[in-house]
Amino acid sequence: MQNPAEDRPRTFPVRIWRGDANGAFQQFDVPRHASQTVLDVVTHVQRHLDPSLAYRYACRVGMCGSCAMTVNGKARWTCRTHVDTVAVDGTLEIAPLNHLPILRDLVVDMAPFFDKWAAARGQFSATATRRDDFAKVSPSSPARRAIDATIECIGCGVCYASCDVVEWKPDYLGPAALNRAWTLVNDVRDGDGVARLRAIAADGGCQSCHTHQSCTRSCPKHLSPTASIAGLKRLVARAAMKGTL
């Protein structure tokens, strides 16, 4: 005869941040499953244990960048992070991303993050009109190859939450915005080159990066904002020497 207790999935303790910046962790016992992601855990809590839990996700497949949280002390995308790889002593502690205002529970306000994209002139500035033919950009050109990886950024904010300079220098544009700027300065169709270089050469721009690579180590897409920022530093130095800044 079967023992009903053996049929029940075993549970594990999960501590989840509740409330605003003055909130506290609340513990839940969550059923443990094979191949379970951290996002599965949070979703279980919201659907079965406390429907008032606030969190954010959209695609569940690593494309939208909306599910980033702090998991056992490190910023991660939660939809592609398996519990097996991050649990410490069989437990999880899940908090909102660092360096951004907490709205509620696991949801942060991403506005300051994207305001810095705008400050780095991260918007494409077209030089052609709709009457022009499509631009032809050779995939093997040096400028295009320089951004083969960087265009894959999903804007998740994991690098931003992992960067110490963002913490102590609030006006620092941060790795994601600078990675975006590097993508655009190498886009031959864009016409905002000098204005963008001026923006990233200013205080809080690329020179504030200390090259300690936390962003690169943490990026779930395996991008290197550190390399993008190094490229920007070279461009800024060259422009300064030529007197074109």
Residue numbers at the binding site for ligand FES (CB under 6 A): 57-60, 62-67, 77, 79
Q: Residue 142: CA atoms inside 13 Å, Cβ hemisphere, count?
A: 1
59 contact choice in ligand FES, ligand SF4, none (CB below 5 to 8 Å, kind-dependent): ligand FES
From CA 38, how far away is CA 15, in angstroms rounded? 12
**Residue 53 in contact with residue 43, Cβ under 8 Å?**
no
Q: Which is nearer to ligand SF4, 45 or 219 (CB)?
A: 219
60 contact choice in ligand FES, ligand SF4, none (CB below 5 to 8 Å, kind-dependent): ligand FES
**Residue 181 in contact with residue 122, Cβ under 8 Å?**
yes
Q: Which of 163, 177, 197, 235 binds ligand SF4 (CB under 6 A)?
A: 163
Helix and strand element counts for the chain (H, E) = 11, 7
Listed in sequence order, the residues at least 6 apart from 25 whose beta carbon sits closer than 8 Å to its beta carbon are: 15, 16, 17, 18, 93, 95
- Find the shortest distance in angstroms from Cβ 189 to ligand FES: 28
Q: Which is nearer to ligand SF4, 12 or 76 (CB)?
A: 76
Question: Per-residue x/- marks for ligand SF4, 78-117, CB under 6 A?
Answer: ----------------------------------------
From CA 31, how far away is CA 165, in angstroms rounded? 38
- Find the shortest distance in angstroms from Cβ 60 to ligand FES: 5
Region 170-229 residues binding ligand SF4, contact defined as CB under 6 A: 175-176, 179, 209-215, 219, 221, 223, 225-226, 229
Residues making up the chain, counted from first to last: 245
* CA-based R_g, the chain, Å: 21
Site for ligand SF4, rule CB under 6 A? 153-159, 163, 165, 175-176, 179, 209-215, 219, 221, 223, 225-226, 229
